[in-house]
């Protein structure tokens, strides 16, 4: 199967947040969907700490990221674990109904957990929407836009992660910070080249 076809499906890019006791935690998700007039579902990898915390707190929030989202948000929430860092330390957020939502987002939805479905790698969390609002005037970022314009890559925990054996180039380099894969010979890029996801220079790339 050519997994590249999956990039043609309609996805968004979201920051899903919840609580670890009193501490806000969260991660990036690309699968969030309204399934009834008051019900939303999100898909979170079993290995994400956010998954464990949603199960305990019984609630979650979805911040809808826009095309002009700040460059540090996706690397912070998508390529790090709340087990290791405080993702909210340098990210602006506001507390609504006890949950942190990102102020640099198109809008947000707050949900109380009402059910869950376990798959081999992910939990699909179902929640009843209790609050929501628009925060910024921006076009919601689609997953296709993230890949084609932002040149972003999926972390291994993402349901759309593509293995390296699907690379088109025989030479590739991986960013050691965020996992972004550069197809081709990065040494030919000027010294001003930076990773399009985490903004680290090319010295942070390793050949794969």
Location of structure tokens 């898909």: 43
- For the beta carbon of residue 193, count every other beta carbon within 10 angstroms: 14
User: What H or E segment, with its residue span, contains residue 161?
Assistant: none
In order along its 208 residues, the chain shows pLDDT tens digits of 666 666 666 788 999 999 999 999 999 998 899 999 999 999 999 989 999 999 999 999 999 999 999 988 988 898 888 998 999 999 999 999 999 999 999 999 999 999 999 999 999 999 999 999 999 999 998 877 776 666 555 555 555 554 444 555 678 888 877 777 788 899 989 999 988 777 788 998 888 8
Domains of the chain, CATH where assigned = 11-145 (2.30.110.10), 165-208 (2.20.28.10)
Query: Which token pair is 193?
Result: 């080249």
Location of structure tokens 């935690």: 25
pLDDT of residue 165: 45
Helix (H, G, I), strand (E, B) or coil at 146: helix
pLDDT of residue 160: 52
Query: Which token pair is 187?
Result: 């040494």
- Tell the burial category of 192 from Cβ atoms under 10 Å away from its Cβ (0-12, 13-18, 19+): exposed
- H helix runs in the chain, sequence order: 49-57, 73-78, 143-148
């Amino acid at each position: 199967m050519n997994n590249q076809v999956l990039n043609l499906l309609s996805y968004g890019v979201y920051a899903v947040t919840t609580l670890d006791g009193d501490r806000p935690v969260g991660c990036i998700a690309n699968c969030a969907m309204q399934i009834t007039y008051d019900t939303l579902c999100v898909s979170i990898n079993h290995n994400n700490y956010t998954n464990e915390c949603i199960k305990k707190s019984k609630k979650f929030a979805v911040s809808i990221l826009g095309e002009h989202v700040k460059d540090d948000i996706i690397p912070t929430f998508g390529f790090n674990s709340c087990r290791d860092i405080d993702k909210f330390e340098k990210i602006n957020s506001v507390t609504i109904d006890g949950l942190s939502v990102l102020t640099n987002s198109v809008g947000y939805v707050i949900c109380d957990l009402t059910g869950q479905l376990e798959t081999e790698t992910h939990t699909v969390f179902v929640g009843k929407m209790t609050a929501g609002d628009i925060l910024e005037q921006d076009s919601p970022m689609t997953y296709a836009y993230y890949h084609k314009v932002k040149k972003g890559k999926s972390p291994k925990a993402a349901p759309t992660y593509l293995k390296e054996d699907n690379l088109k180039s025989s030479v590739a380099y991986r960013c050691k910070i965020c996992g972004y894969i550069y197809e081709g010979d990065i040494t030919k890029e000027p010294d001003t080249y930076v990773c399009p996801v985490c903004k680290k220079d090319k010295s942070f790339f390793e050949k794969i």
